[in-house]
Chain A
Amino acid sequence: MSVDTASPATLAGVGIGLRARHLEEVLAAHPPVPWFEVHAENYMGGGMTRRALEEIRRSYPISLHGVGLSLGSADGVDRQHLRRLRALVEWLDPAMVSEHLSWSSTGGVYLNHLLPLPYTEESCGTMCRHIDQAQGVLGRRILIENPSSYLRFRHSPIPEPEFLAELAHRTGCGLLCDVNNIYVTAQNLGLDPVVYLDALPSALVEEVHLAGHARNDAGGRTILIDDHGSPVSLEVWNLYRHAVARLGSLPTLIEWDTDIPPLAVLQDEAGRAERILGGRLLTGLHASAA
């Protein structure tokens, strides 16, 4: 089976993270969404879900977002899983392929979470080896996304934005900047999110993610949980404005994974992000006309 497009489309504007609950609506109504992002691990089988993606791919550019490669595992990357990802990439020919700065597997167990890494020379070497391996097997460049964190390791001498920059520098990968994750991590670990964002190498960032988070009281203080279960918060919208000013009008994704609302709610969120992206475009035009 192959998809009848000549070359992968490029992403522009504000896309939406496509979830199972919206598949039927997207197939029936063809909503005006510039592009969709799908989780690779949900489409590694056959049947109805694969058929739905095949049809959606004919009408929309697709970005493929992996959540299971576990690039930060000291045990190495699961070769069988990487082969399945390659088969999916070859079939889908997505506009982008992305994964995470995290790990999930150890000792043959897959923990189903994007778990945190200590940022050391050792973990940097591990990540780089596995990104090289993935890019080699997939035959294309991937983007690496910053995680949300609820803890800091005692020994983690490299700041996260520098660590990401080093990965990109050593492997040639691009970066995916999740603005909500920056805000969540900064709040949970006592960092300044603007300083974090400004430390990212802006030329290497190629996609932006936005989502909602929850506030939980745990252990006597407030912790932000990256649950993708609510509208983007005011603070994250403000940080996004700063991101757009600094990084430019990058393709941006709205994600929602818990208590998923009707597609129209996600489209409203996407519209809000579009206005911020568009405002930046207008400012840019104004500046070049002056």
Chain B
Amino acid sequence: MPALREVQAAFRDALLGGDDSLAAAAIASDGMRPDARLRIYRHHVFATLTAALKATYPVVCRLVDERFFDYAADCYIRARPPSVPCLFEYGGDLSEFLGAFGPCRHLAYLPDVARLEWALNAVAHAEDAPRLDPARLHAIPQQAYPGLAFRFDPAFRLLSSPWPIDRIWWAHQPSADPDSTVDLGAAGAALEIRRVGGDPVFRSLDAATHAFRRALVEGCCLEAATTDAFVADPGFDLTGAVRSLLADRVVTDVALATLGDHPEG
């Protein structure tokens, strides 16, 4: 009798790899072949994980059609099975997988559409975070503001793509006009994804605002982020940008980066 750990490893190989021999040897035949019994378990694993991926990636599924998605999902699940039990956390690297997946490599925009859908999913389920306490900001003298660093809500993401992934996304919503087309040669997208009223939404940002917020998200201080924004647009309005950042309620904490006092957490 193999040890429990060996039985479980054999089961994993049978369910994911298709090699039934070791697991089958541990199973009684009574009236039905062990491989037929294992197939029932395999079917459930693949059906539920494919359904979870479809729920996270409905636009990718529509873009490639459902039969192809099922095939790609099957290959993905075998290559990169989940490691954690929360299904809303499964599938974060599907974009990378699709980018290297031969049968759809010609759809160059597909991985970035997948990144957008993953960002929407991650924002929807991100941990709830407290809002910025205004006293934290007021405690910092104004002359020190160039050294300010910001901590962002976990339900806040930035994403850019050379493809018009926002227009592709809208054109593949169930309510979209089926005859609408997207010009793939149009400008790319610089997007921000966050929660509004609890729902994940995205919107397009101008290049300077995107560069400004990107630098801050990456931990740069206000001065460095402003430099990035001016590179994108010499007419960048810093005061307006800081005001709208705070009004959007996506910042959870502030601190002085120059003193090594990074926001906690």
Contacts and interface: CB of A to CB of B under 8 A. Distances in A.
Interface range on chain B (Cβ under 8 Å from partner): 35 or more
Contacts, number: 146
Contact of B83 (A110, A118, A152): A110
Interface residues of A, number: 54
Interface string A186-215: 000110000000000000000000000000
A221 B198 contact: no
A223 B40 contact: yes
A45 B124 CA distance: 9
B7 A150 contact: no
Interface in B97-128: 123-128
B84 A78 contact: yes
Interface in A48-85: 48-51, 67-70, 72-75, 78, 81
A110 B1 contact: no
A45 B27 contact: no
Nearest to B34: A151
B5 to A, nearest CB: 4
Q: Which of A107, A120, A123 has the most CB of B within 10 A?
A: A107
Contacts of A151: 27-28, 34, 37-38
Interface string B36-61: 11111100110011001000000000
Interface of A: 1, 41-42, 44-51, 67-70, 72-75, 78, 81, 103-113, 115, 117-118, 120, 122-123, 126, 150-155, 189-190, 216, 218-221, 223, 225
Interface of B: 1, 3-5, 7-9, 11-12, 15-16, 26-28, 30-34, 36-41, 44-45, 48-49, 52, 81-89, 123-129, 154-155, 195, 198-200
Given A45-B86, A45-B124, A68-B86, 10 more contacts: A41-B86, A47-B198, A48-B199, A75-B5, A75-B8, A106-B9, A111-B81, A219-B37, A220-B32, A221-B32
